[in-house]
Amino acid sequence: MVTNLNIQYISIEDLDLDKENPRIRKWIEQYGDDPSFDQMLLALGAGTSDPEAGSTVTFQSLRDSIRTQGGVINPIIVKKASNGRYLVVEGNTRVAIYRKFFQDKIPGQWNAIPAIVHDGLEQTQIDAIRLQCHIVGPRPWDPYSKAKYLDHLLNVENMSLSKLVDLCGGRKKEITDYIDAYKDMEGYYRPVLESDSDFDPNRFSAFVELQRATVKAAILEADFTLTNFAEWVRDLKIDPLNTVRALPRILKHPQARAKFLAVGARAALKVLDVPVSPAVTNVPLDQLLRVVIEKIHIIPWPQVEAMKKDINSEQTQLIIEAQEALAELCKQFEEG
């Protein structure tokens, strides 16, 4: 796919950070087309200790690791431009850290960084590198930035969904959920905020959970709107964010619904909680699973039909939640 590739040390003065990096692009859209280096640092995560997602390291921990090691282990990836400069395709955060160390006169060799240099890299190849490194690779962007980039590729660069899915390893449902969640967050959450500075990308997972068909249906059937949902997210009525999946049960139950609207999902779930017998709680998981499997196998067909007709019933929603919990656990097995 790529030709004329070599590895060399590039002066940090000859490197241009990638303004199409979703985290930097997010800052540019908010504050203007010419962000300062300090603004780019903030966009890339400097000044926060919050993890971006799952196993993703924070800016702080990556900075400390690079300083301890005396440099980076993995070379960055750059595209050589016609003017002799280099665009950072992958590794913007590492370059920013080197520049900051050099600027602050931290002891060490921070004036140049090892890089894989591509000459004549096409935009489609750049997109493929970003997807491999940050969507399915070992250095994922935060979920909101992933979704923003996926939406950009699909709806701005007009990459076909099938190609996008192939480049991301075939995870079509996850990709479409992320793109739809990004649209919902931009379309409903951003407008209910007083200013863009109140926009919290860490609330993104609530909008991913919203893509469950039963959740959206439950909200609309209860005479609420997706704008109401965005307001609940804004007002922290939905906290923790995974309680979105419990909305069908909450909104169907009058007392739980009232408690949710007054206080929030955590309090509403307490209304729905049925005390579990200590005898059941202490049963080993494998035995519980055997019993559940057996009971599922003997559910009468008329009962299945009744649950299908009342998809938001507590029993049906608990079955769906159990299925989703098991699917998430099995996904971890597949990921090794």
Contacts of 319-322 with C-beta under 8 Å, sequence gap 24+, read: 320/214, 321/245, 321/246, 322/292
What is the structure's pLDDT at 49? 45
What is the structure's pLDDT at 335? 59
Q: Which residue has the tokens 């096409």?
A: 122
Q: What are the tens digits of pLDDT across the range 70-125? A: 998 889 999 888 888 998 988 888 888 998 899 889 999 999 999 999 887 788 88
What is the structure's pLDDT at 207? 97
Amino acid at 123: Q
pTM: 0.67
- Return the number of other C-beta atoms located less than 10 Å from residue 67's C-beta: 15
Phi/psi for 102 (5° steps) reads: -65, -45
Helix (H, G, I), strand (E, B) or coil at 57: coil
Q: Tell me, which fold does domain 5-134 have in CATH?
A: 3.90.1530
Over its C-alpha atoms, the chain yields an Rg (Å, rounded) of 24
The domain ranges of the chain are 5-134, 178-272, 283-335
Distance CA 112, CA 97 (A): 12
- Check whether 310 has a pLDDT greater than 80: no
Q: What are the tens digits of pLDDT across the range 237-270? A: 998 888 999 999 899 999 999 999 999 999 999 8
